[in-house]
Structure 1
Amino acid sequence: MTYEELLQAMLDRVPSNVDKREGSIIYDALAPCAYFLAQQNFQLENYLDLVFPDTAVGEYLDRAVAAYGVTRKPASAAVRKMITTGAVSIGSRWGLNSLVYTVTRELASGTEYEAQCETPGDIGNQYSGSVQPISNITGVTAELTDLITAGADEETDGALRERFLQKVQLPATSGNAYHYKLWALDVPGVGDARVFPLDNGPGTVTVLIVDNDKNIDTSLESAVSAYMETVRPIGANVTIDSPSSIAVNVVADVTLDGSKVKDDVLRAFKAALEIYLKGLVFTDYRVSYARIGSLLLATEGVQDYDNLKLNGAMANVIIADKAIPVIGTVDFSEVRMYGAN
């Protein structure tokens, strides 16, 4: 019941010969009580959402799924290659764009090192270039280059919920295909996986993985492989790999309605196309020609289109079993403004 309904129900129980108008003694006495009860009703209604895994959030979701042996994947730190002009000590610290990287291992004598970001998460993957010494180091310059192991942000509520539902709904037992998928998803940074049983003969399993953004990240392979060795059945030969990519190139003659310029339309369409293609990863191996056309018509600023082609043909694009679709080139040619001659 709402605050108004609660207050009215209370006032209805007061004798009619008592002044119940707003501002009266009885009205002013009951109004705070009705407000408090309305708050309690609201909290109780939302409390139920915090109890069940399909609606819980934050720490309540952590507690709801913990009983099933599922825990939120923590943020992991990026490990980068650092190239120097001279030898540096293990444990020395270097700064770049407010981030600090600590040298953890020597890769090549006196010139290449492994450096781990002190701030966990995806942010450690983002910057490259010259790093400045924080430790007392002189006469040596250094540059942060390749990504050795990608850092990953803490698992989101949505990803944790999806992983929980897969665990309780999929029949993952005794090292079957579902089990290998769940094991791969346990590793921080892995967003999805597909399993190929008997891929290279009896006793072999191939697991393809992508990152949290459904992108190819080969740096995850070693972490997943190491973890898989600790949980796989004895005798299984497991290969951890990344899928190949199939570029989806889009061309079309687009008629604009005059509300947006070509660059804005291209940017909006690419964003929608990327979302669509990521939704196909490991779930659908056909890029729909009709769906791309619908996305184009739904793009703000587009009135109509002609001669839409995907990879040079007016047809669906078929993706191989061990591949995922990615955005290729997008070209809107012969763009005409509505009403133009």
Structure 2
Amino acid sequence: MSFERPTLKEIIERLDGDTQSRLSVPQMRRSNAKVFDRVLAGAAHSLYGYIEYLNRQQFFDTAESDYLDRWASIYGLTRKKATKASGEVIFRFSADLVNIPEGTILQSDDGIQYKTTGPTASNGSTSVEALNEGISGNQLEDDVLTLVSPISGVYSEVTIIKLGGGSEAEADESLRARLLSRVRETPHGGTESDYVQWALEVPGVTRAWAFPKEEGEGTVTVRFVCDGMDEIIPDKAMLDKVFEHIDKLRPVTAHLYVSAPKVRPVNITIAGLLPDDAEVREAVRQELKDLFAREGVPGQRIYLSHIRAAISAALGEEDHSVVFPTADPVPETNNELPTLGEISWQ
């Protein structure tokens, strides 16, 4: 039988019973002994909690924080650090070209700041990097940054050519999933699972898939997404990062292709939801979102039965009917990733 941690109330009752068994007369209602019992019970309850915490750290699937990092390091894995967004912008000039000093500060509309990191090219472009790490530094192409301090002969608005690659530090669940995958699937020097694990080592990558021989004999195509970013489809900066990382590890005889999947939204129509209120609808939406994150694979179907099961698993849901889709949604090519589209209610 497994050990069950006693509750605080159970510990107090035990101590009260032990104390009473050693006294010749019943305790008074306001006895000091009862106070001591509760103080000792609180200390014992804390110790039980610490022992329970240490017990969780003994196993891969429950270890946390520093202990999880320690387990991962034994298998050659490290937690992915947060990274800064970087890219290229283009300046405009009122007259002749002005050389923009390195370290010039630019700022987005939402207050995220960047600095220039390279010389100014003849077309006015230069490289930039976010001052802080994280996905907040990623910006869309053709968005505008503004000079924090004006420069003579330079317009204050700067156009983004590309600016991405920023990511948050890896969460425990992501590192734990990589560790379990590493333990269960031993590296073999270039198998399909190796390419997936190599891609997942890059900060910002959350899901990855490998497709051997898609471009012919001796080729491997890797596709991945970045669920932690505003847009899960990776930009060119992320594609380059993953290619460079895998290129250092792959067998020299393999031809590597790294590409972004195309999103194939799957719209769902639900009728007769019971009870039909905002809380249950949101719970259904979250369950469906989790389903597509777990089972969404480029080129592979999402089972209609799993869609129904995910809706049934929503907190508070009692009954429903799926009007659409009427069959398993199946992508047309290996490049299409099924994702949750619009949910309609009837």
Q: Report if TM-score (shorter chain) is over 0.5.
A: yes
- Mapped contact 2:86–2:129 kept (Cα < 8 A): yes
TM-score, normalised relative to structure 2? 0.79
Quick one: which of 236, 247, 258 aligns to 2:265?
247
Equivalent residue letter for 2:138: N
Shift of 1:184: 0.9
Is 1:234 the counterpart of 2:252? The answer is: yes
Shift of 1:215: 2.5
Alignment partner, residue 7 of structure 1: 15
Shift of 1:166: 0.5
Shift of 1:17: 1.5
Q: Which moved more, 1:148-157 or 1:47-56?
A: 47-56
Shift of 1:10: 3.4
Shift of 1:188: 0.7
Shift of 1:180: 1.3
Is 1:53 the counterpart of 2:60? The answer is: yes
Give structure 1 stretches of 5+ with no counterpart.
336-341
Change (3 A) 1:11 1:190: same
Equivalent residue letter for 2:244: A
Equivalent residue letter for 1:47: L
Supply the distance in 1 between the matched residues of 2:54 and 2:198 (Cα, whole angstroms).
Answer: 32
Supply the distance in 2 between the matched residues of 1:309 and 1:25 (Cα, whole angstroms).
Answer: 69
Shift of 1:258: 9.3
Alignment deviations for residues 106-137 of structure 1 (CA, whole Å, 9 cap, x no partner): 58524223221111111112577443323562
Secondary structure of the 1:35 match is helix
Change (3 A) 1:21 1:55: farther
1:184-263 equivalences in 2 (<5 Å): 184-213=199-228, 215-219=232-236, 220-251=238-269, 254=271, 260=277
Alignment deviations for residues 9-43 of structure 1 (CA, whole Å, 9 cap, x no partner): 531552x3155334334444444233322221222
Alignment deviations for residues 81-100 of structure 1 (CA, whole Å, 9 cap, x no partner): 32321342232111223321
Shift of 1:226: 0.7
Equivalent residue letter for 2:112: L
Equivalent residue letter for 2:16: Q
Secondary structure of the 2:221 match is strand
Give structure 2 stretches of 5+ with no counterpart.
1-5
Alignment partner, residue 3 of structure 2: none
Change (3 A) 1:64 1:110: same
What CA RMSD, in Å, does the superposition of the two structures yield over aligned residues? 3.4
Supply the distance in 2 between the matched residues of 1:197 and 1:234 (Cα, whole angstroms).
Answer: 15
Quick one: which of 263, 277, 289 aligns to 2:292?
277
Is 1:79 the counterpart of 2:97? The answer is: no
Shift of 1:256: 7.3
Supply the distance in 1 between the matched residues of 2:119 and 2:283 (Cα, whole angstroms).
Answer: 45
Equivalent residue letter for 1:228: I
Q: Which moved more, 1:277-286 or 1:234-243?
A: 277-286
Secondary structure of the 1:90 match is coil
Alignment partner, residue 111 of structure 2: 98
- Mapped contact 2:137–2:166 kept (Cα < 8 A): yes
Change (3 A) 1:301 1:31: closer
Secondary structure of the 1:286 match is coil
Is 1:89 the counterpart of 2:76? The answer is: no
Shift of 1:321: 3.2
Alignment partner, residue 42 of structure 1: 49
Supply the distance in 1 between the matched residues of 2:202 and 2:68 (Cα, whole angstroms).
Answer: 19
Percent identity between matched residues is 25
Change (3 A) 1:13 1:34: farther
Is 1:288 the counterpart of 2:300? The answer is: no
Is 1:121 the counterpart of 2:134? The answer is: yes
Supply the distance in 1 between the matched residues of 2:209 and 2:144 (Cα, whole angstroms).
Answer: 38
- Mapped contact 1:266–1:330 kept (Cα < 8 A): no
Supply the distance in 1 between the matched residues of 2:54 and 2:210 (Cα, whole angstroms).
Answer: 38
Supply the distance in 1 between the matched residues of 2:120 and 2:288 (Cα, whole angstroms).
Answer: 40
Quick one: which of 169, 175, 178 aligns to 1:154?
169
Q: Which moved more, 1:59-68 or 1:210-219?
A: 210-219
Supply the distance in 1 between the matched residues of 2:153 and 2:117 (Cα, whole angstroms).
Answer: 20
Shift of 1:55: 1.4
Shift of 1:103: 1.3
Shift of 1:104: 2.0
Supply the distance in 2 between the matched residues of 1:276 and 1:159 (Cα, whole angstroms).
Answer: 17
Alignment partner, residue 28 of structure 2: 21
Change (3 A) 1:284 1:156: farther
Q: Which moved more, 1:237-246 or 1:187-196?
A: 237-246
Is 1:138 the counterpart of 2:163? The answer is: no
Supply the distance in 2 between the matched residues of 1:271 and 1:34 (Cα, whole angstroms).
Answer: 41
Equivalent residue letter for 2:245: Y
Supply the distance in 2 between the matched residues of 1:38 and 1:267 (Cα, whole angstroms).
Answer: 38
Secondary structure of the 1:40 match is helix
TM-score, normalised relative to structure 1? 0.80
